[in-house]
Homo-oligomer: A and B are copies of this chain.
Amino acid sequence: MNSFTEENYLKAIFKLSSKNSGGVSTNSIAESLNTKASSVTDMIKKLSDKKLVNYKKYQGVNLTKKGKEIAVSIIRNHRLWEVFLVEKLNFKWDEVHDLAEDLEHIKSKKLTDQLDAFLEFPKYDPHGDPIPDKDGNINRHQDITLADLKKKEQGVVVGVKEHSKSYLNYLENTNLVLGSEIKVTDIIDFDKSMTITVNKKQEVNISNQASKNLIIKKL
């Protein structure tokens, strides 16, 4: 089968290709995996030999159908494990990502599907990211962030685009968790920072850096 390393490359390519269209660049893969471009080129050749990516020198890569399937199944594993850790083992949402990075590579269809059933087929992980179903279908939610809201508009927090401990911690401390209701009360033109009301009670100031990473469903 495929090594953990190969799987991590496939996952990275999958995520990068959903961001921008066209082939995924060597450098962007290197950056997202904290490795060097030369290492990426080597691995791409291997994945190409295995028919998991389409690759022409200097043109970037794209996943094949098979490559995409593997990537999605790993993401499915990752997000199911995150749900398990939070729902069943009392982990906080800022503690689960690194563990899920390891758990996602345990390859067993039965394990994944039984875990899914045990968790009662969750649709979203603890960060609001959609969980691919058994057949690999993903329900992406639209990409509206708090930064896109105008003054007086309202919304509900449905996800985060940034998964760092420090960001998640900051959110929790300001009560900006999944399901929180938000109303924009003011926007400073200079730096795009906002004043918002959380759950009709709390008034909070939030920087543009922070608001553009908070995924919102408009009300």
Contacts and interface: CB of A to CB of B under 8 A. Distances in A.
Interface string A145-178: 0000000000000000000000000000000000
A214 interface: no
Contacts of A102: 106
A110 B88 contact: no
Q: How many copies does the complex hold?
A: 2
A89 B119 CA distance: 10
A20 interface: no
Interface residues of A, number: 16
Contacts of A202: none
Contacts of A110: 91, 95
A99 B77 CA distance: 14
6 contacts: A89-B115, A95-B110, A99-B106, A99-B108, A103-B103, A103-B106
Interface in A123-145: none
Contacts of A90: 114
